[in-house]
Structure 1
Amino acid sequence: MSKLMALHWRSWMHDSTWSRRRLLHLGAAGALAPAWALAREKKEAPLPAVGSILPLVPAALLDGGRFEPAQAEGRVLVLYWWASWCPFCAQQSPEMQKLWDAQRGRGLRMLALSIDRQSGDALAYLRRKGYTFPAVWLGPDLARAYPKPEGLPVTVVRGKDGRVAQAEKGQLFAEDVAELARWV
């Protein structure tokens, strides 16, 4: 590493706005080139505020079905942003499947929103893991309608009235996911 890069690295490391978690997320290449790393980061939407109205749009499901907003009218809808490469999602997704299996008969609706780069990656992952909860791939058009909040995974509960009842970023543990049933 050149002296200039080392100096840049040290000054960047002492910038309080950067956390170790972000460094790990960006990887070594990003750490050596902070301007380049900054360019890699995407602007993400804020977590929806509890009580705010959460509009829905139709979406093609990865299994060939279709999500229609009318399916969620007067029902609780859990929106779950995830990715096949996310280790925290890998821990939470089995719990989301358990929630789906236990609560869909009581009226729960779910829409898992994959942020994978390709829809095929998300579909292959769902099939390999045996997940049956409704899932879509957030291509560019759908990502505008369902912008991913900061963090991953992200779980948002839309109440029966169409307003955000709960919004969480980061991994939910088994008991946290099970507790989402209280909204049904």
Structure 2
Amino acid sequence: MAASAVVGVSQGIVAYAQPVSAAAEEAKAPPLPALGSVLNVPRIALLDGGVFDPAKAQGKPLLVYWWSSTCPFCALQSPSMDKLWKSQQHRDLQMLALSVDKKSEDAAAYLKAKGYSFPAAWAGPEWRKAFPKPRGLPITLLRGRDDRLLLTERGQMFAEDVEAIAGLI
């Protein structure tokens, strides 16, 4: 019996040495930022080879959209987000779609397969230390021209709700 107890303890130690699971990481995620709070987004490489430069988005409305290629709610919302992006660029709308896929290649392949044109980046674990993803998915944030949040949404938005974002720009 003593031998099995040692094995049990040994296995417990090994289990704690494993990487944090996605569920455990999500449990530690911060809440949505408050409406009216200032949103500063760090520079990040885009999946198309470009770069999101926060200085170029200064004084312009910025839509930040956290998503994943494996999220069924994101799959339902993303077509509306792409439509909004295409229809509101003339109004200086800036957009940054942040994939939380395990690999950037998965996000890039998904965007290509779906034909989405919105600017997207892979928000890897290291980058998320500087700009943590709020709890939930999808997450939609709209920052106004004054850098303050006008909209914070957790979970799937319906097409008409995404369309209504245009009225906030």
> What TM-score do the two structures reach when normalised by structure 2?
0.84
Higher relative contact order (CA 8 A, sep 6+): 2
- 2:33 and 2:116 map into 1 onto residues whose CA distance is 26
- Given candidates 150, 154, 164, the residue that maps to 2:135 is 150
- 1:69 and 1:172 map into 2 onto residues whose CA distance is 25
Length, aligned pairs only: 147
Deviates more, 1:139-148 or 1:151-160: 139-148
The match for 2:68 is 83
> C-alpha root-mean-square deviation of aligned residues, in Å?
1.3
- Given candidates 13, 16, 24, the residue that maps to 1:41 is 24
Q: CA deviation at 1:63?
A: 0.5
- 2:148 and 2:121 map into 1 onto residues whose CA distance is 21
Indicate conservation of the 8 Å contact 1:59/1:68, yes or no. Answer: yes
Q: CA deviation at 1:183?
A: 2.1
Post-superposition CA distance 1:149-177 (Å, at most 9, x none): 11110000011101111100000000000
Q: Which amino acid aligns with 2:110?
A: Y
The match for 1:174 is 159
The match for 1:163 is 148
- 2:50 and 2:123 map into 1 onto residues whose CA distance is 15
The match for 2:88 is 103
Structure 1 counterpart SS, 2:118: coil
Structure 1 counterpart SS, 2:98: strand
Unaligned runs of 5+ in 1: 1-37
Post-superposition CA distance 1:30-85 (Å, at most 9, x none): xxxxxxxx964211111010011111211100000010001211110000000000
Q: How does 1:115-130 map to 2 (within 5 A)?
A: 115-130=100-115
Q: Hey, which bits of structure 1, 4+ residues long, moved more than 6 A?
A: none
Indicate conservation of the 8 Å contact 1:76/1:183, yes or no. Answer: no
Q: Which amino acid aligns with 1:55?
A: N
The match for 1:71 is 56
- 1:145 and 1:100 map into 2 onto residues whose CA distance is 25
Structure 2 residue 47 is matched with structure 1 residue 62: yes
Structure 2 counterpart SS, 1:62: coil
> What TM-score do the two structures reach when normalised by structure 1?
0.77
Unaligned runs of 5+ in 2: 1-19
Indicate conservation of the 8 Å contact 1:62/1:137, yes or no. Answer: yes
- 2:118 and 2:131 map into 1 onto residues whose CA distance is 18
Deviates more, 1:39-48 or 1:158-167: 39-48
